Structure formats: structure tokens, C-alpha cells
Amino acid sequence: MTAPLVLSIDAMGGDDAPRAVIDGAAHFLKGRKRAVKYLFHGDEAQLKPLIANHAGLSDVSEIRHTESEVDMSAKPSEAVRRSRGSSMWNAVHAVKDGEAHVAVSAGNTGALMAISKVILRMKKGVHRPAIVASWPAPNGYSTVLDVGANVEVTPSQLVEFAVLGEAFHRAVHGEAKPTVGILNVGQEELKGSQTIRDADALMREAGLDMDYRGFVEGNDISMATTHVVVTDGFTGNVALKTAEGTARLVGGWVKEAMTSSILGKLAGALLTLGPLNTLKDKMDPRSVNGGVFLGLNGVVVKSHGGTDAVGFATSLRIALELADSRFLSEIESNLERLSELNAKTEDAAS
């Protein structure tokens, strides 16, 4: 029998924790064929009755008690100094100790990033971690990074993101040879900032085992012109929040059209049986909830703080797919090539 994959969960992180976390974990178990085990980190007095409300959940769960948690408003530096022994700290440390395959939290993003860097450290060849998001596209998903961790980046960091994003897309979305592009304001070589143009040149010189396609534009993200889109954290975060807002706006318009008249309600009732339900699922931000911190010596998944049980279950699905893949080992060869190229560039500059 295959050993279960262990998911280490910060049960106290998030706006509606721990209820949304526990309900999400129970929702994730429904129809799950791959054996899993949960390590819930948090206040046992709160967690035990919530787990008991779900049949079978206690059979695959272990509670690691702590009364300490990271405040959603805590600054990253403050969180690192004061969070030892907290539910978030302990959830990540379980990965470091080899007790769990992946850590998941809906808590403070900056604090989780800082704590993960301190505990797990960066992979050799990676200077900064990036947050990756899966973006709905016509035939699946695009992978976009960074979406919030690094406001300012260097050309070599963008290339690092490309290596990380390509490995992520292969592991999570099953594409054997993902295509990669760098987000720009146009596809011409002279368009964009010097950083972006230098990153493009570095990508072409690096000799990476990667299908790099050059520059892509904003509309290419949703059309999946390339499987992976690389950008800085400021641009990626703005694009992500804009897309989520647009999805909610269009969803509201559809709902309004289907409830504004008797005919609309009848049409809506009929469409709900098929196409409209499919559209609703594709436009639901909960279906892609879960940003992964890439570049660490371990896997950490960040759920939206305000998500519900369905959204948290999605973040657990992403965590499981990464834990059950060769994601970490797949990036190492390209990172090694990139490290060698960076060393040669630095020697030439000196």
C-alpha cells in the first residue's frame, strides 16, 4: 500500500480560521484516491470539535497543539522574531523536519514568506522566492509568476522565475514541455524596460532545457499563448487582481441577466444543468486558489486569507499535486546551468 502524503496545515491562518480550514480539509477528502494525512497545527480545544464534525476526518488527522498564531497584520520581520512555536512556524517546520511533504497556510502572506525562507532556505541558484498562480485559459491554465513576492527584480531573477515556473507547470498541469514567455508591452525586441530586454537576452544565452518563445503581452496570459508567463511581482499582482475583479464583474452581469425576468430565470434554470454551470466553475476564483512559493528547499502553498472551504480545498489539491511530483528535483539541472552562466557574467564584469 502506498504511504500517505502528509500535508502540514496552519489551521489558525486565514480570516475564517480554523473553521474554513477544517471544512476545506474535509471537502478535499471527498472522492480522493491518493492516501493523505493531515498535521493540523493550532489550538486543540478549537480544532478537535471541528474535526469531529466530519466523518472520517479524525482518522487521517493529527493535531499539533499550540496557542500561538501569527497575526494577519504582523510585519514579516516581526513575524520571524516572534512566531517561533506558532501554528504557521510549526506547519513549515514540519516540512523542514521531514514529517510532511508540503505546508499550507491561509495566513499572513509576508509573514509566511519570511518564515519559509528562514526555515527552509533558498535552493542553490535562486536569490528570491516567487509566488506562482494558475490562470484560467481556453484549454486549461496558464502559469504566471511572480504575482506578489518581488516588486523589483533583476534580469537573472526573471530567468530564475522562468525555470521555477516551467517546472511547476509540468508538475501541476501535466504539460511535458511547457512553453515560456516574458511579459512585455509588445513583442518587438526594443519594447519594454532594460531589465526585461536583458532578461530576454540572458534566456537566449543560458542554454537552458526550455522552450522559450520570447516576449508575450497581457492578453496572451488568458489565451495561453505560452504555458508560462514570467513577470515581476508588482505587475503580476496587479494583473491577477484585475482578472479576479473582471471575473466577478462578468459573473455578476450573468447572474443579473438570469434573474431580471421570468424568461431569464427560465433560461438560467435550463443552462444551470450544463453550460452555465461549467462557465460558473471556470470563473470561480476558488477554483485556482493557492499560490505556491517557488525556490525554497521545500514546498509551501499560500491560500487566500479570505477563502472558504471550497477554496482552501483547492489549495490542498495543488499542494498534493506538487508533493506527488518530481517538481523540486526537476528544477535543479536548469538552476545549475543558470548559476554557471551568472558566475561567468560576474567574472566578465569584474
Q: Average model confidence (pLDDT) for the chain?
A: 85
Contact 175, 314 (CB under 8 A): no
Peptide bond into 232 cis (omega under 30): no
- Strand 140-145 and strand 102-105: pairing? unpaired
Q: The C-alpha cell of 312 is what?
A: 482552501
Q: How confident is the model at residue 345 (pLDDT cuts 50, 70, 90)?
A: low
User: Is there a contact between 123 and 88 (Cβ–Cβ < 8 Å)?
Assistant: no
**Residues whose CB is less than 8 angstroms from the CB of residue 66 and which lie 6 or more positions away in sequence, other chains included:** 41, 42, 43, 85, 86, 87, 90
- pLDDT value, residue 348: 57
Cα–Cα nearest to 302, from 120, 168, 106, 128 = 106
Alpha-carbon distance of 327 to 321, in angstroms, equals: 9
| Whether the Cβ atoms of residue 169 and residue 228 lie closer than 8 Å to each other | yes
What pLDDT score was predicted for residue 143?
A: 92
Q: What percent of the chain has pLDDT above 70?
A: 85
- The residue type of 38 is Y
Higher pLDDT: 98 or 34? It is: 98
Distance CA 285, CA 179 (A): 24
* Run of H or E including 27: helix 19-29
Give the pLDDT band (50/70/90) at residue 18: very high
Cα(101)–Cα(141) distance, integer angstroms: 24
- Residue by residue, DSSP assigns 199-252 as HHHHHHHS--SSEEEEEE-HHHHHHTSSSEEE--HHHHHHHHHHHHHHHHHHHH
At 26, which helix (H) or strand (E)? helix 19-29
Does residue 83 register a pLDDT over 70?
Answer: yes
Maximum alpha-carbon separation in the chain: 75
pLDDT of residue 148: 84
| Nearest-angstrom CA–CA distance, 216 and 166 | 15
Angular region, 31: left φ>0, alpha ψ -120 to 50, beta rest = left
Confidence tier at 336 by pLDDT (50, 70, 90): confident
Q: Which domains does the chain have, with CATH numbers?
A: 1-122+295-326 (3.40.718.10), 127-292 (3.40.718.10)
Using alpha carbons, select from 338, 8, 153 the residue that is nearest to residue 145.
153
Taking only the tens place, the pLDDT of each residue in 42-65 is 999 999 999 999 999 999 999 999
Residue 322 has which C-alpha cell? 506538487
Tell me the per-residue pLDDT of 113-147, one tens digit each, with 9 for 90 and over.
Answer: 999 999 999 887 787 889 988 887 888 889 999 88
Strand-strand pairing, 36-42 and 179-183: unpaired
Instruction: Tell me the per-residue pLDDT of 228-287, one tens digit each, with 9 for 90 and over.
Output: 999 998 998 888 778 777 766 776 776 676 676 666 566 555 555 555 555 455 555 566
pLDDT at position 1 is: 54
Calculate the alpha carbon distances from 291 to 102, 107, 186, 258, 330 in Å. Answer: 13, 12, 27, 33, 19
Are 261 and 285 in contact, with CB atoms under 8 Å apart? no
Do residues 113 and 129 lie in contact, with contact meaning Cβ atoms separated by under 8 Å?
yes
C-alpha neighbours within 13 Å on the C-beta side of residue 119: 27
Q: Is the pLDDT at 165 greater than 60, yes or no?
A: yes
Contact present, 38 and 55 (Cβ < 8 Å): no
Q: Choose between 88 and 75: higher pLDDT.
A: 88
139: DSSP letter: T
Burial of residue 297 (number of CB atoms within 10 Å: 0-12, 13-18, 19+): middle
